[in-house]
Structure 1
């Protein structure tokens, strides 16, 4: 049993993902996500995350249903930057900020306008430094990045270009296979 694996072996190449332009509109992203999900559910597609490409065809981000919902209230990202505060016991500070900034105050009232005017570039998940790993990165560093960033996937780069996504679910499956190959017996407890 192979107990070592590389990012190259585990990552999903960008060619496996549906794509959308950063110039597309909110409603187009929703339709593309629906189409991608239907293709995934029927077994006709391997992925349902949308990769976002610029005019030159370079991958510059991704869009998930959560990103679309966050696109309803772009200012929400300002509060989200305080996620560490939430984790470390000061959610009341963040809650008061939300109330003060009136986030999500009637975000659905002008949904049709937003769906027609807001572009994907405004709400896509842009790769931050802690979301990008080099294709040759050591796996222990990758594990650390997943655990500390709490991300479901990381962008994989080679020569400063995004070439794929490493999903936590794929990494976990590889780890599980190694442990199962150990032949350990379940305890009676």
Structure 2
């Protein structure tokens, strides 16, 4: 397994359902439901929903958590402050700011009406460097990002383009297979 490359365990982007970054939040909800239905029925090997731009390039993925954050986008402003070293905000201060901004205080029906007007391209987060590996990288780099970032999947690049996804479930399956194939101690 030491010589294995990321490309050996990655899944090409063609295997994943996709949605345009111009789609609405409601369209994303419907696409996520369909992806989950196909996965549960065994007709699809995964339920990760990739997001593509005007040129057809994958620019990210969307999850149920992204949908919830898309309904209340003000969280991003507070969470960004928490990670800026010069602010050194304690978690209690961040919680206080959330309460002052009345996050999730509006009726849910009002939030839901946003679902047909908000485009997922307005809130989807682009993959960060700790969420990407290169197809030719050795697997130890992917192991590192899975453990440190606690990601369930990583984007795989060739050059500047995302060409696949490596899922932790596939990596874990390979690890356990390798462990079972180890010779028993004498």
Q: Does structure 1 residue 21 correspond to structure 2 residue 6?
A: no
Q: Structure 1 153/171 Cα, relative in aligned 2: closer, same or farther at 3 Å?
A: same
Q: How does 1:110-189 map to 2 (within 5 A)?
A: 110-184=110-184
Is contact 2:2-2:139 (8 Å) kept? Answer: no
Query: Which structure 2 residues correspond to residues 13-52 of structure 1 after superposition, within 5 A?
Result: 13-52=12-51
Give the TM-score taking structure 1 as reference length.
0.87
CA contact (8 A) 1:3 1:178 kept: no
- Separation of aligned partners in 1, 2:173 and 2:32: 25
- Shift >4 Å, 4+ stretches: none
Deviation at 1:79, TM superposition (A): 2.8
SS of the counterpart of 1:78? helix
Change (3 A) 1:42 1:84: farther
Partner of 1:98: 98
State the alpha-carbon separation in 2 of the partners of residues 84 and 182 from structure 1: 45
Pairs aligned (count): 182
TM-score (norm 2): 0.88
Structure 2 stretches lacking a partner, 5+ long: none
Residue 53 of structure 2 is matched in structure 1 by 54
